[in-house]
Copies of this chain bind each other. A is one copy, B any other.
Amino acid sequence: MFDTIVARSNEIADDLIAVRRDLHQHPELGWEEFRTTSIVVQRLRELGYIVRVGKEVCEESARMGVPPAEELESAYQRALQEGAPEELLEAMKGGFTGAVGILENGDGPVVGMRFDIDALPLAETTDPEHFPNREGFQSVHANTMHACGHDCHTSIGLGVAQLMMEMRDQWSGTLKLVFQPAEEGVRGAKSIVAHGHLDDVTVMLGSHVTASNQCNEFDIYAGAGGSLATTKLDVTYTGLASHAAGAPEKGRNVMPAVATAILNLYALPRNSQGETRVNVGVVHAGSGRNIIANNATMLVEIRGANTQINAYMEEYARRILEDAGHMHGVECEITKTGEAISLESSPELMERIDRVAEQVEVRPASPNRLISPGSEDYSFMMDRVQSNGGQASFIRILVDSPTAGHTVTFSPNEDAMVRGVRMFVGTALDVMALR
């Protein structure tokens, strides 16, 4: 069984690369993965999966950080022009991207897998030495780039779909392949969980490529921990403009509100119960030098070692934001545009993954758990499964890249995808094998 996995994964290596490069060339931002989703749906249907699409994927009211209607429409039209079939696109109108492929294959465990599919708002480097530039598959979408490897994740997902279908006589149970939109900004996972897709899953797998200088020694970490719960807040202040020399007292000035918010947010108390973070990443305020500024937007994020700490931080931050506005007669509107909880891989599942790795010629790292202070909304999926008594893990696939994720020169080695496919298929079969 494991030998077959090794052999077949090698054989589909070129397909994995081809799919990945097509996606890399046509990156789409969160909730705008129209073309990407249509490719996934087509392939899953070809393979014989039952496929959930459109409003069957994400619970509408639980989606966060959905772009404005015009932006969605413009991305939709682009997908149409790039050849995505209108009959597939239709269900996604208004940002209902993502898909769930289901294969009911007899009694047994329900194994879930998460593959995230969205790109980042970055302009890919024009450096001719950048691998996609050398090979001619660089992004053709302005200011959009697969700089976090989700193109690889999606391609891995489709490879996994193929092998699981091919080997369906060797396992019994149910397989759910979740192609998640809008992971960037931690906006999409919660709405998939809210729809109930994870409710019957007993073993959950997700992964992420990670640039590492340990690639010579290890291929994967079986699990992860230490990630931070997080909340993303978009803040809008609305005041009243007036001439800064003629009648400064007639305005309601957002500037001191913004400044008070920034300083007090960073000054949120350290926490004896665990790590915290806070950041005001972007501020745009005001319309002219001699006008008392009447508008501001701020992109804020907070994090905590666990959900409770994060909730403490969020509540405090909201009070600061509102009061900083109120003291200057300025209205404050706060929108939650993203959210993740902390995650901790299940120890037994990590041990299983380590065992499988040895079988499928993948080198597991030791200790087998990568601690990192980032955030991932896949945590909601893990939490749902673990809360129901199931097991879940978040595998880190080490890659060799000149720079880290979220940079414009990020470029993972493509052969890592083969190892990703092996780990998903190998672990799933280890769980569901007919023995």
The residues of A with any CB-CB pair to B shorter than 8 Å are: 121, 185, 228, 230, 232, 243-251, 253, 255-256, 258-264, 266-267, 269-273, 275-293, 296, 299-301, 303, 312, 316, 319-320, 322-324, 326-329, 372-375, 406
Contact = CB atoms under 8 A, between A and B. Distances in A.
Contact of A269 (B249, B258, B289, B319): B249
A246 B374 contact: yes
Contacts of A251: 269
A42 B281 CA distance: 52
B246 A256 contact: no
A326 B228 CA distance: 28
A262 B286 CA distance: 13
B279 A248 contact: yes
Contacts of A228: 245
A410 B222 CA distance: 49
B264 A373 contact: no
A248 B292 CA distance: 24
Contacts of A301: 244, 289-290
Given A260-B263, A281-B292, A282-B287, 8 more contacts: A245-B375, A246-B272, A247-B272, A248-B269, A256-B264, A256-B267, A266-B266, A323-B327
Given A264-B327, A272-B246, A327-B323, A281 B289 contact: yes
A255 B272 contact: no
A249 B273 contact: yes
A297 B290 CA distance: 15
B279 A289 contact: yes
A256 B248 contact: no
Contact of A326 (B247, B278, B319, B372): B319
A262 B261 CA distance: 12
Q: Give the 3 A-B residue pairs with the shortest CB-CB distance, closest first.
A: A266-B267, A244-B279, A259-B262
A261 B255 CA distance: 11
Contacts of A292: 269, 279, 281
Nearest to A300: B289
A316 B257 CA distance: 13
Nearest to A234: B289
Contact of A374 (B232, B245, B256, B300): B245
Contacts of A319: 326-327, 329
A321 to B, nearest CB: 9
B283 A279 contact: no
Given A281-B288, A284-B283, A258 B248 contact: no
